[in-house]
């Protein structure tokens, strides 16, 4: 049994923390929106600040929306680092499972390493369904020793757990994931819109494509969302846009052109302009529909 702190209990964090409690670990919990009562009923303990969580926990996990949120929780007033200083336990470990900047991740890691603490960046893919079913893909940046220590904990939350490299490598991998995912969502939207406008049944076409080379998890899940007009999140557009902001900023710093990523980024900008920050990221199809002046339509049997 490990003493684990978990900070950030939203759509993703709550079921992830639940799996850890059910896996037999002692959980110390904090969330700015309040700790869900059902986690406490399962045995989790609610605390008032990240500082107090860090005082009790040996492994402190964060699952937060963006880089500034992680920085505030780690280094702000009553933050994690205050729970460690001045006599940090060298056996303690910080595990950030948010999707944030690789450069700032490396800076955060360096600050904790100076205190003798391990730091692990471990962003995830799989969305709320993956979090609920403990089937997340977890992309890890850590030392070999730190990864070996935390891997059994990750395996309670995900199925595909991979050490990509040292600190920052997990976040680099997540950027690559988001490039592939966002461009594929847009491509599925274009394809289904074309099908509907041309007069074929988008659901039957989707079923046919699932048996061929175009098959993908995006076509399976998000294609169905587009056809059935189910745009509740899921993974919110504002978070998808944030990840593409990081991708394009990182690419710019490297001198790499990502032209199709930039195009999809603009379509998500259009979603935000139409009040779609809280829509599921599959709702990018709404902007394609506006450009075509046509909505994807089911065909009656």
Kindly state whether residues 64 and 105 are assigned to the same domain: yes
Active site residue 159: no
Return d(Cα 166, Cα 183) in angstroms, integer: 27
Kindly state whether residues 200 and 62 are assigned to the same domain: no
Instruction: Say what the pLDDT of residue 301 is.
Output: 63
Q: Tell me, what CATH number does 199's domain have?
A: 1.10.1040.10
Residue 163 pairs in a beta bridge with 140
Kindly state whether residues 74 and 183 are assigned to the same domain: no
Indicate the pLDDT class of residue 84, thresholds 50, 70 and 90: confident
Kindly state whether residues 192 and 278 are assigned to the same domain: yes
Could you tell me if residue 301 is inside a domain?
Answer: no
Domain end position, chosen among 134, 166, 198: 166
Domain end position, chosen among 166, 190, 222: 166
Kindly state whether residues 138 and 232 are assigned to the same domain: no
Kindly state whether residues 11 and 153 are assigned to the same domain: yes
**Tokens 């360096």, residue?**
110
Question: Residue 252 has which token pair?
Answer: 């710019």
Could you tell me if residue 299 is inside a domain?
Answer: no
Instruction: Say what the pLDDT of residue 85 is.
Output: 66
- Average pLDDT of the chain to the nearest whole number: 95
**What confidence tens digit (pLDDT) does each residue in 261-271 have?**
999 999 999 99
Considering the entire predicted model, what is its pTM? 0.90
Could you tell me if residue 78 is inside a domain?
Answer: yes
Q: Tell me, what CATH number does 13's domain have?
A: 3.40.50.720
Could you tell me if residue 251 is inside a domain?
Answer: yes
Instruction: Say what the pLDDT of residue 89 is.
Output: 62
DSSP type of residue 293: T
DSSP type of residue 236: B
Kindly state whether residues 120 and 180 are assigned to the same domain: no
Could you tell me if residue 273 is inside a domain?
Answer: yes
pLDDT above 90 covers what percent of the chain? 92
Kindly state whether residues 111 and 147 are assigned to the same domain: yes
Could you tell me if residue 115 is inside a domain?
Answer: yes
Which one from 174, 242, 295, 298 is the annotated catalytic residue? 174
- Domain span at 229: 173-292
Cβ distance 124 to 136 under 8 Å? Answer: yes
* CB atoms near residue 66 (< 10 Å): 18
Span 56-81, mean pLDDT? 96
pLDDT above 70 covers what percent of the chain? 98
Question: Residue 284 has which token pair?
Answer: 């990018």
Return d(Cα 162, Cα 221) in angstroms, integer: 24
**What confidence tens digit (pLDDT) does each residue in 173-222 have?**
999 999 999 999 999 999 999 999 999 999 999 999 999 999 999 999 99
- The structural domain count of the chain equals 2
């Amino acid at each position: 049994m490990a003493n684990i702190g978990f900070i950030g209990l939203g759509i993703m964090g709550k079921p992830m923390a639940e799996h850890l409690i059910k896996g037999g670990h002692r959980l110390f919990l904090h969330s700015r929106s309040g700790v869900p009562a059902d986690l406490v009923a399962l045995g989790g303990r609610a605390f008032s600040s990240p500082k107090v969580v860090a005082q009790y926990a040996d492994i402190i996990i964060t699952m937060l929306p963006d880089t500034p949120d992680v920085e505030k929780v780690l280094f702000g007033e009553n933050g994690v680092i205050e729970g460690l200083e001045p006599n940090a336990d060298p056996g303690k470990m910080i595990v950030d499972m948010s999707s944030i900047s690789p450069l700032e991740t490396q800076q955060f890691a360096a600050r904790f390493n100076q205190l003798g603490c391990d730091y692990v960046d471990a962003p995830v893919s799989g969305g709320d369904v993956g979090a609920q079913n403990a089937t997340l893909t977890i992309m890890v940046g850590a030392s070999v020793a730190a990864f070996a220590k935390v891997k059994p904990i990750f395996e309670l939350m995900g199925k595909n757990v991979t050490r990509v490299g040292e600190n920052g490598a997990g976040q680099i991998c997540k950027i690559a994931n988001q490039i592939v995912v966002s461009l594929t969502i847009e491509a599925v939207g274009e394809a289904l819109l074309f099908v509907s406008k041309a007069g074929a049944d988008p659901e039957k076409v989707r079923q046919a494509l699932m048996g061929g080379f175009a098959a993908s998890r995006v076509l399976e899940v998000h294609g169905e969302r587009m056809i059935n007009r189910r745009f509740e999140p899921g993974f919110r557009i504002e978070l998808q846009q944030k990840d593409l902001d990081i991708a394009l900023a990182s690419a710019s710093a490297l001198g790499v052109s990502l032209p199709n990523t930039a195009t999809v980024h603009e379509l998500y900008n259009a979603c935000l302009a139409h009040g779609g920050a809280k829509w599921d990221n599959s709702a990018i199809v709404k902007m394609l529909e506006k450009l075509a002046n046509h909505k994807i339509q089911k065909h009656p049997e």
